[in-house]
């Protein structure tokens, strides 16, 4: 699942990940992501989460996700231009982080690596 308020970034990453054989769905903010997680959508094996978004930002989403036993075990990779993304990743017990701007192919490689490390079949 890609959660980012920038439609161009969502589209780009979705195309790259789908080309790599992944099933992808997207959300424009944390609230939309929570709605998708509790809907009839397939359960994501990993969430790529932007931190700065309107409606519900990534920090609030992650706190709500961790408080919900039905989705708390889904790993999150933070995706942000914030200088302190490394610290935020540690604070939020994220599986990793991607610094914006990014190389889409490197994002796919990093997600593949994280999925293998975590024993996920993405």
Domain membership of residue 120 (yes or no) is no
Question: Measured at the alpha carbon of residue 99, what is the angle toward residues 80 and 21, in degrees to the nearest 5?
Answer: 95
Domain membership of residue 117 (yes or no) is no
Domain membership of residue 119 (yes or no) is no
pLDDT at 82: 79
Q: Kindly tell me if the per-residue pLDDT of 115 is higher than 70.
A: no
Dist CA 117 CA 94 (whole Å):
13
Give 50-108 pLDDT, tens digit per residue: 999 999 999 999 999 999 999 999 999 998 887 888 888 899 899 888 888 888 877 78
pLDDT at 117: 67
Domain membership of residue 25 (yes or no) is yes
pLDDT at 76: 94
Domain membership of residue 19 (yes or no) is yes
Give 11-36 pLDDT, tens digit per residue: 999 999 899 888 899 999 999 999 99
**Mean predicted confidence (pLDDT) in 111-120:** 69
Assess contact for 92 and 78: CB atoms under 8 A. Answer: yes
Distances (CA, A) of 29 to 1, 2, 40, 92, 117: 12, 10, 18, 17, 27
CATH number at residue 63: 3.40.50.2300
Q: Which residue has the higher pLDDT, 121 or 50?
A: 50
Distances (CA, A) of 3 to 25, 26, 77, 82, 109: 9, 6, 10, 16, 18
Domain membership of residue 122 (yes or no) is no
pTM, rounded to two decimals = 0.88
pLDDT at 81: 81
**Domain tally for the chain?**
1
Domain membership of residue 57 (yes or no) is yes
Residue 66's domain comprises 2-111
Domain membership of residue 121 (yes or no) is no
Q: Whole-number mean pLDDT of the chain?
A: 88
């Amino acid at each position: 699942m890609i959660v980012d308020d920038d439609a161009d970034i969502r589209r780009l990453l979705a195309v790259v990940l789908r080309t790599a054989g992944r099933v992808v769905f997207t959300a424009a903010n944390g609230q939309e992501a929570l709605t998708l997680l509790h809907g009839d959508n397939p359960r994501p094996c990993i969430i790529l989460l932007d931190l700065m978004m309107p409606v519900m930002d990534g920090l609030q989403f992650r706190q709500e996700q961790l408080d919900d036993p039905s989705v708390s075990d889904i790993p999150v990779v933070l995706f942000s231009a914030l200088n302190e993304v490394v610290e935020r990743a540690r604070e939020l017990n994220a599986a990793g982080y991607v610094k914006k701007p990014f190389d889409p192919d490197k994002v796919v490689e990093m997600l593949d690596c994280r999925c293998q490390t975590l024993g996920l079949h993405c």
